[in-house]
Amino acid sequence: MSANKDTVRKYIDGFNKSDHAQILSCLTEDIEWTVFGHFRLSGKDAYDGAIESPDFSGPPVLEIVRLVEEDDVVMAELSGEAHRANGATMRMTMAEVFVMRDALITERRAFVIELTENDYK
């Protein structure tokens, strides 16, 4: 396994535990995070503040389906669940682009699709 893939696995594991220190240790200081259709932020301080959303309760459960790497980019296919603050469970599928620098994540671009019926819609 490459150092870049190891970092992405460590990062996802940190999210599954809501471990801010573990997540932040995987990022460069100038990290950019975009969740298309929702938000974009820059820098570790802003990132730290967005790890846990008031719209959700507790950590998500994210499962890596596959990781693909080329040059300084790791692409991840993920599936998961998150618990909304109102008690409802959000099931989702995600595609994530991790741009790496020196085995740290310098840009994260997330495409999140909520699933309401089955495993594909």
pLDDT digits (tens, 9 = 90+) for 54-80: 899 999 999 999 999 999 999 999 999
Counting as low any pLDDT under 70, the low residues of the chain are none
To the question of domain 3-115 being in CATH 2.60.120.380, the answer is no
Q: Using an 8 Å Cβ cutoff, are 90 and 79 in contact?
A: no
Taken as a whole, the chain contains a residue count of 121
pTM of the model: 0.95
- CA distance linking residue 48 with residue 31, whole number of Å: 11
- CA distance linking residue 24 with residue 9, whole number of Å: 13
β partners of residue 31: none
